[in-house]
Amino acid sequence: MTESFGTIPSLRAVPYGPGGSNAVGLLSTYQRSQIAGIATFLELPAGKLVYREGANAQSVFMIASGIVKAFHDLPSGKRRVLAFLGADDVFGLAESGHYVNSVQTITSVTLYRMRVATLADVLRKDASLAFQFLCKVTHELRGSLRHAVIVTRPDAMGRVTMLLRMLEQTSQLSEGATIDFPMSRLDAASYLGLSLEAVSRALSRLERSGIIAFEGRQRRTLRVLDRTRFEKIAAAL
């Protein structure tokens, strides 16, 4: 783990009120400077545990770059992936002073770490900044609700397609751009409530049908070839 100075932090979400369904930057230049003034900039490698469920919640984190996963270890020994988070997302909100899940990096990441007490003090003094954090938390709640919808779908290909669409939207990609698929197939299966085999079959079926195409030997990047069919599968419930 290394610490250094990075770019100015930001939050991105679909805001309250009219204006479309696209995520936008929430913070003003001044607000971003406020956050930078109370944050430590961290660089973590892939596979690094940021914190474990039940630990004392001393910090809140904002992601500058990279992908992390939030997960919960079940008494059975199985692991349930709850969310994938990327640039301009925030994590570390807790309950009764303890983290409610574990977070681990999937790729190398850069983070802003803020002490809970310090952030709380800043938010109490700045109602506008507190409102933007509320917008972000609400945005994450919408993501949790979308996840609940995904896992109710009976078809594995539909669940996988919705995940790919979510990754595309999170990255603010234009149609035709490549979609990064950095998580393991096992993590994707856990998030989607499917078996590893079901995820692999669904991806293979999408590829054989000419809807998507993987690029590179590691198959971590893909492109949508048939946008109409892709969107139809993602939207069908």
Residue 2 confidence (pLDDT): 47
Give all domains of the chain, ordered by start, each with its CATH number. Answer: 2-150 (2.60.120.10), 156-235 (1.10.10.10)
* Phi then psi dihedrals of residue 122, to 5 deg: -65, -45
As a whole number, mean pLDDT of residues 75-93 equals 90
pLDDT at 158: 94
Model confidence, pTM: 0.86
What's the angle, vertex CA 153, arms to CA 148 and CA 154, rounded to 5?
140
Least confident of 41-45, 50-54, 150-154: 150-154
Q: How far apart are CA 196 and CA 190, in angstroms?
A: 8
What DSSP state is assigned to residue 163? H
222 confidence band (pLDDT: 50, 70, 90): very high
Q: Is the pLDDT of residue 208 over 50?
A: yes
Q: Is the pLDDT of residue 164 over 90?
A: yes
Question: Is 174 a residue whose pLDDT tops 60?
Answer: no
